[in-house]
Chain A
Amino acid sequence: MEKGRLNGSIFNTLSKYSIYLVLVVLFLISWMANENFITPQNLKNVANQISVSTILAFGQTILVIAGMLDLSSGSVLALAGVLLVSTYVNTGSLILSFLVSIIVAVICNIISGFMITKFKTPPFIATLAMMTMARGAALLYTKGQNIYQIGDYVVFGQGETLGIPNPIIMLVITLAITAYILRHTVFGRSVYAIGGNEEAANASGIDVNKVKMKAYILNGIFVGIAGVIFMSRVNGGMPNGAQGYEFKALTATVIGGTSFTGGVGNAIGTVAGAFIVGFLDNIMVMVGVHSYLQQVVRGAIIALSVIYDIWAKSRKKGKKVQSA
């Protein structure tokens, strides 16, 4: 009896922190596989490389916890990004161009949110539509051509403040915001409640539509910020940039323990998920794993983490039934 309880509590602790355990093990294996992995510059690179998709992943985390998702984030990033670069090239104003990026991304998300809350369109379809529209708009605006010669604007994505690359600083700030919102605000608790059981949340007096719309607006802000960093990092306005970033973001979210069935997840887990993917990509390139095999491994990791998530949940449920 006592032993069973002990085993159970070890299992619970392990399952709670398993994602961090995986991260640590992966880190150690990578370190052993290639000594250059551990250099501060390489670790900085990985953090830099995952910054854009992780900032997008914070938006996804909030949405997925609430039982929704955003397939348009890569395309909206590109639209917001080319408009921001074009604003900067034409006006030279950093603040104005940042605002353009965030406002454009928020507007796109309000449209998605409107489709979802007002017309009860499934989030998958609504944001799929937005994905196509936003990419089309970005291509239309630029005639499919990249915008070059963006001048000092690159400093934002490529520069450092107190020795820390700016994208990493933005990553930390957005992490803090997401973690705070999810843990310490009424909105955050409502997000979990809606994802856990929408009808119950509604019955308990939560304005479900309002919370969903707010979640999309917040996602829009993150997408706008990610656009600022992405375009600066690649030193240009790229209408076809950030393709597939919505899936990178979703991958980090899911590996980080956010459940697609809603109601479960947190921002730190998402960062861990992003680092797992980042370290894995990094070490596979460092040791020269064939590109095709890399894709197979990446896919397998996603499949395993989802299988684990479902298995851990069913075990928990089983335990509850047993103890009852």
Chain B
Amino acid sequence: MKKAVSLLLVVLMLVTFVTGCSNNSGNEGKKDGKYRIAFIARAQADSFAAWLANSVMEEAAKYDDITLDVFDGQANDDTENALIESAIANKYDVIIIQPNNGEAQRPYAEKAVQAGIITITTNARIAGIEGSSSVDADPYMQAKVNCDLALELVPEGANVVVLNGPPGNFHADERRRAWEIEFFQKRPDVKIVGEEIANWNKDEAMNYMETWVQANDKIDAIISMNDNMAAGALEVVKDNPKYKDILAFGVDGTAEACLLIKEGLMTSTSLQSAYDLAEALLDTAHKLLTGEETEINIDIDCPLITKDNVDEYIEMHRRAGAIQ
């Protein structure tokens, strides 16, 4: 039995190694005249990060002179830092880092730059690393475009509930900060009757909303730092006539949010398009590799999606296969 187990283990490792090698274009410098890019994803269990990783792979396939490997940081600083170190050791031409926690990855990104490797940080950028480039969407702006609409639509003396992302997460914190400055400070008449951390999760948001609906006579708006949580809260009230006019704001522009906006259940979201990020990332990488430019720092747009323009974005998701 012991022999069988060790044999199985060896076979498993061999299979992993062989398939790994056939996916990689090789580990020693530029091979077949192709540039090698390592994309260190934050966590492939996070649906936005997964969307970005998939988009980056698709985009890379469009370049004849680029091969790209994706690595999963598993939402863990240690894992992500180790992956960056391995990518440096493996002499990739470009390392794209989607940090789990910008400050934790900063020294490792600096190491990559020092090793002479083109380093790009994205979603969110790690600012202030000399010699590195970045492609990002500004989380403050993503929330702000929603705040501007909310200033108009949220009724006088409204009761609102707020759903937050994980504390310490750059995008979660910046979006919440935008709501504070761009909405709550301008609208002192609005009362927050419930605020919880739902960790970007739909099921957690649902549970909180169920309780808030019981604890409060009226809730006029759901203010959520991402679409997934807004969708969870709406799941609770969607069939309740008392809440037929409830407003709901999110961020991300997911397929589900677009469908909810189309149905008239959700008010608005702002698009953080993984397609656009991926396109800009590969374009940036290519320009840096060919020496066309030496440093690039850009932000993609964060257009507001409402009932008026949602069809365009539903079509975008349909083309990508996210909507049937």
Contacts and interface: CB of A to CB of B under 8 A. Distances in A.
B323 interface: yes
Given A240-B45, A286-B215, A288-B194, A48 B50 contact: no
B202 A236 contact: yes
A36 interface: yes
B235 A45 contact: no
B238 to A, nearest CB: 9
A288 to B, nearest CB: 7
Contacts of A233: 203, 206
A282 B5 CA distance: 48
A285 B196 contact: yes
Contacts of A242: 203
Nearest to B205: A234
B61 interface: no
B185 interface: no
A285 B194 contact: yes
Interface string B235-255: 100000000000000000011
B197 interface: yes
A143 interface: yes
From B46, B50, B324, name the one whose CB has the most chain A CB atoms within 10 angstroms: B50
Interface in B199-223: 201-203, 206-208, 210-212, 214-215
A62 interface: no
Interface in B35-77: 44-47, 49-51, 53-54
Given A148-B259, A234-B202, A291-B196, A143 B54 contact: yes
Contact of A285 (B212, B228, B232, B235): B212
B322 interface: yes
B211 A149 contact: no
B54 A234 contact: no
B323 A149 contact: yes
Contacts of A230: 203
A286 B211 contact: yes
Contacts of A149: 259, 323-324
Contact of A234 (B47, B51, B203, B259): B203
Interface string A28-44: 00000010110101100
A41 B203 contact: no
Contacts of A240: 45-47
Interface residues of A, number: 37
Given A135-B45, A234-B206, A41 B259 contact: no
B210 A286 contact: no
A242 B203 CA distance: 8
Nearest to B216: A36
A49 interface: yes
Interface residues of B, number: 38
Contacts, number: 89
Given A145-B51, A148-B323, A242-B203, A286 B214 contact: yes
Contacts of A281: 207
A50 to B, nearest CB: 9
Interface string A164-187: 000000000000000000000000
Interface string B309-324: 0000000000000111
A291 B197 contact: yes
A154 B54 CA distance: 28
Contact of B45 (A158, A239, A288, A291): A239
From A240, A242, A243, name the one whose CB has the most chain B CB atoms within 10 angstroms: A240
B301 interface: no
Interface string A131-148: 000010001000111101
Contacts of B44: 139, 144
Contacts of A139: 44-45, 50
B324 A234 contact: no
B202 A238 contact: yes
B54 A42 contact: no
Contact of A146 (B194, B195, B235, B256): B256
Interface string A254-291: 00000000000000000000000000011001101001
B323 A145 contact: no
Given A235-B235, A238-B202, A285-B212, A145 B45 contact: no
Interface of A: 34, 36-37, 39, 41-42, 45, 48-49, 119, 135, 139, 143-146, 148-149, 158, 230, 233-236, 238-243, 281-282, 285-286, 288, 291-292
15 contacts: A45-B214, A49-B210, A139-B44, A139-B50, A144-B53, A145-B47, A148-B323, A149-B323, A234-B232, A236-B256, A238-B202, A241-B203, A242-B203, A243-B201, A288-B194
Interface of B: 5, 44-47, 49-51, 53-54, 164, 167, 194-197, 201-203, 206-208, 210-212, 214-215, 228, 231-232, 235, 254-256, 259, 322-324
